């Protein structure tokens, strides 16, 4: 658990006046804080978690949840129970505005919540306005992850009738969603036409060997990959391409253009080019030292970060320690982004594509390694039971 055990607290701080720590979002970068939340409470602090749902889903396993490789309870954290079991308060709501001058958060439900220190881990979203798409049940942004759970339950019973799926976005998310849609169709013994609209080039920023392996894997399964074109518009059941071609669909998945929530910009906080909360190397707002953040919702000054989970995972213990320092005083630790990190694509057929730097490896062992890493991460933090009310351990 990143070297920090439940109940562990960094030394060197001082216990002063009881303060209020508010965690906004229960994502990957806040998990060490949540597991060790009792440490804050035992030292006299009040801790509140605000999250739209009692559960937080792990994005690294979400394509596998879509295809049925994983059950929903295998890929989520019961953050409400994690918080309450350790003496914190959980509020099921969403922050819509930040008042940094008065240290106040405005919630969607109408309440206001004051804070002494606040930390944001609200992830990223796919803005529908990028494609002029109106909100429709059959147009599914791949974030938040809960959308994939909803669509799995929606389409699985009707797959045998044959459907048209369109995935928009040629990055890793688009590839994994496409590949695992294929698995979902195969497992249901149904039929479906699957098209991936990859934009200029599939996995264009990745090593050529990774791109070639992904293209071959998808093409061999009858999945059509369109390169050199972009989506001009999405209508209710029709994708309009830049050259005028129209593609009908039953479900369209949006796996492109993810960006942080606009809440930081709208609240007058310094942000990066993508709208993320601009933070220094301590993951601390460059303008308001009592505000922190981690994961996809931040913009690290002087070092743009890719929207990959490895950064949030590595920010886990650092945020835990730096929030202690913000509450009680003491030295803060510095986040040094990892330049080269392992990435593995879940190709939905029991195989994976792995690469780090120039090393590329494809096959079943690559997926098994990804599965092992993901399950180990879940074991470290899935500490509060994941069953829904009325759900039995036998299935979901």
**Is the predicted pLDDT of residue 130 greater than 60, yes or no?**
no
Q: Look up residue 376 and give its DSSP letter.
A: H
Angstrom distance (rounded) from CA 53 to CA 275: 24
Residue 46 near residue 18, CB atoms below 8 Å: yes
Domain boundary among 284, 304, 328: 328
> pLDDT-based confidence at 339, cuts 50/70/90?
confident
pLDDT in tens, 319-331: 999 999 999 988 9
Q: What is the predicted pLDDT for the residue at 135?
A: 56
Is residue 295 situated within a structural domain?
yes
| Mean pLDDT (whole number) for 144-160 | 77
Query: What CATH number corresponds to the domain at position 273?
Result: 3.50.50.60
Q: Largest Cα–Cα distance in the chain? A: 65
Looking at the DSSP bridge assignments, the partners of residue 280 are none
Is residue 363 situated within a structural domain?
no
Is residue 176 situated within a structural domain?
yes
| Mean pLDDT (whole number) for 146-155 | 79
- Is residue 112 domain-shared with residue 42, that is, in the same domain? yes
- Is residue 214 domain-shared with residue 287, that is, in the same domain? no
> pLDDT-based confidence at 291, cuts 50/70/90?
very high
Domain boundary among 204, 228, 257: 257
| 20-29, 85-94, 151-160, 340-349, range with the lowest pLDDT | 151-160
Q: Given the structure tokens 């909803």, which residue do they identify?
A: 150
Task: Please name the helix (run of DSSP H) or strand (run of DSSP E) that holds residue 344, with its range, or none.
Answer: strand 343-346
- Is residue 249 domain-shared with residue 163, that is, in the same domain? yes
Q: What is the predicted pLDDT for the residue at 134?
A: 52
| 98-107, 181-190, 335-344, 369-378, range with the lowest pLDDT | 335-344
> What SS3 state is found at 117?
strand
**Is the predicted pLDDT of residue 394 greater than 60, yes or no?**
no
Task: Please name the helix (run of DSSP H) or strand (run of DSSP E) that holds residue 355, with its range, or none.
Answer: strand 352-356
Q: What is the predicted pLDDT for the residue at 1?
A: 39
- Is residue 223 domain-shared with residue 253, that is, in the same domain? yes
Domain boundary among 257, 276, 310: 257
100 against 145, higher pLDDT: 100
- Pairing verdict, β 359-363 and 352-356: antiparallel
**Which tokens in the block code for residue 388?**
């829904």
- Is residue 137 domain-shared with residue 239, that is, in the same domain? yes
Number of structural domains (the chain) is: 2
pTM: 0.87
Residue range of the domain that includes 154 = 128-257
270 against 312, higher pLDDT: 270
192 burial via Cβ count (<10 Å: 0-12, 13-18, 19+)? buried
- Is residue 68 domain-shared with residue 169, that is, in the same domain? no
Is residue 12 situated within a structural domain?
no
- Is residue 37 domain-shared with residue 110, that is, in the same domain? yes
| Mean pLDDT (whole number) for 216-245 | 91
- Is residue 118 domain-shared with residue 263, that is, in the same domain? yes
H helices of the chain, where?
31-35, 37-42, 62-67, 79-85, 146-155, 172-187, 208-220, 263-266, 309-328, 364-381
Is residue 359 situated within a structural domain?
no
Q: What is the predicted pLDDT for the residue at 228?
A: 94
> pLDDT-based confidence at 128, cuts 50/70/90?
low
**Is the predicted pLDDT of residue 389 greater than 50, yes or no?**
no
pLDDT in tens, 248-288: 998 899 988 677 788 999 999 999 888 889 999 999 999 99
154 against 179, higher pLDDT: 179
Q: What is the predicted pLDDT for the residue at 46?
A: 96
**Is the predicted pLDDT of residue 15 greater than 60, yes or no?**
no
Is residue 75 situated within a structural domain?
yes
- Is residue 250 domain-shared with residue 280, that is, in the same domain? no
> pLDDT-based confidence at 314, cuts 50/70/90?
confident
296 against 389, higher pLDDT: 296
Average pLDDT score over the chain: 86
- Is residue 38 domain-shared with residue 137, that is, in the same domain? no
Secondary structure of 213-265 in HEC code, one letter for each residue: HHHHHHHHCCCEEECCCCEEEECCCEEEECCCCEEECCEEEECCCCECCCHHH
Is residue 280 situated within a structural domain?
yes
- Is residue 173 domain-shared with residue 235, that is, in the same domain? yes
Is residue 180 situated within a structural domain?
yes
- Is residue 34 domain-shared with residue 180, that is, in the same domain? no
């Amino acid at each position: 658990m990143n070297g920090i055990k439940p109940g562990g607290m960094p030394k060197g701080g001082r216990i002063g006046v009881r303060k209020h720590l508010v965690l906004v979002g229960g994502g990957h970068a806040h998990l060490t804080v949540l597991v060790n939340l009792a440490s804050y409470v035992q030292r006299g602090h009040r801790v509140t978690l605000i999250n739209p749902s009692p559960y937080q889903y792990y994005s690294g396993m979400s394509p596998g949840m879509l295809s049925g490789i994983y059950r929903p309870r295998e890929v989520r954290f019961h953050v409400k129970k994690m918080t309450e079991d350790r003496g914190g308060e959980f509020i099921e709501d969403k922050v819509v505005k930040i008042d940094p001058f008065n240290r106040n958060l405005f919630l969607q439900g109408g309440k206001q919540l004051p804070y002494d220190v606040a930390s944001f881990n609200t992830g990223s979203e796919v803005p529908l306005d990028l494609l002029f798409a109106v909100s429709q049940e059959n147009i599914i942004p791949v974030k938040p992850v809960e959308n994939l759970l909803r669509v799995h339950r929606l389409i699985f019973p009707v797959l045998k009738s044959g459907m048209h799926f369109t995935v928009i976005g040629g990055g890793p998310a688009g590839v994994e969603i496409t590949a695992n849609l294929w698995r979902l169709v195969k497992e249901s013994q149904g039929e479906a036409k699957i098209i991936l609209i990859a934009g200029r080039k599939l996995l264009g920023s990745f090593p050529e060997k990774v791109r070639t392996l992904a293209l071959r894997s998808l093409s061999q399964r009858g999945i059509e990959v369109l390169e050199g074109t972009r989506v001009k518009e999405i209508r209710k059941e029709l994708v309009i391409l830049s050259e005028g071609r129209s593609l009908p669909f039953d479900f369209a998945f949006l796996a492109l253009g993810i960006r942080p929530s606009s809440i930081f910009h709208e609240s007058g906080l310094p942000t990066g080019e993508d709208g993320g909360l601009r933070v220094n190397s301590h993951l601390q707002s460059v303008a308001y030292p009592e505000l922190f953040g981690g994961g996809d919702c931040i913009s690290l000054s002087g070092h743009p970060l890719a929207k990959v989970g490895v950064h949030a995972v590595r920010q886990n213990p650092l945020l835990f320690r730096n929030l202690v320092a913000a509450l009680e005083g003491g030295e803060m630790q510095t986040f040094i982004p990892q330049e080269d990190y392992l990435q593995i694509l879940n190709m939905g057929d029991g195989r994976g594509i792995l690469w780090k730097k120039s090393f590329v490896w494809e096959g079943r062992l690559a997926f098994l390694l990804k599965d092992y890493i993901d399950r180990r991460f879940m074991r470290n933090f899935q500490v509060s039971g994941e069953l829904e009310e009325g759900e039995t351990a036998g299935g979901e």
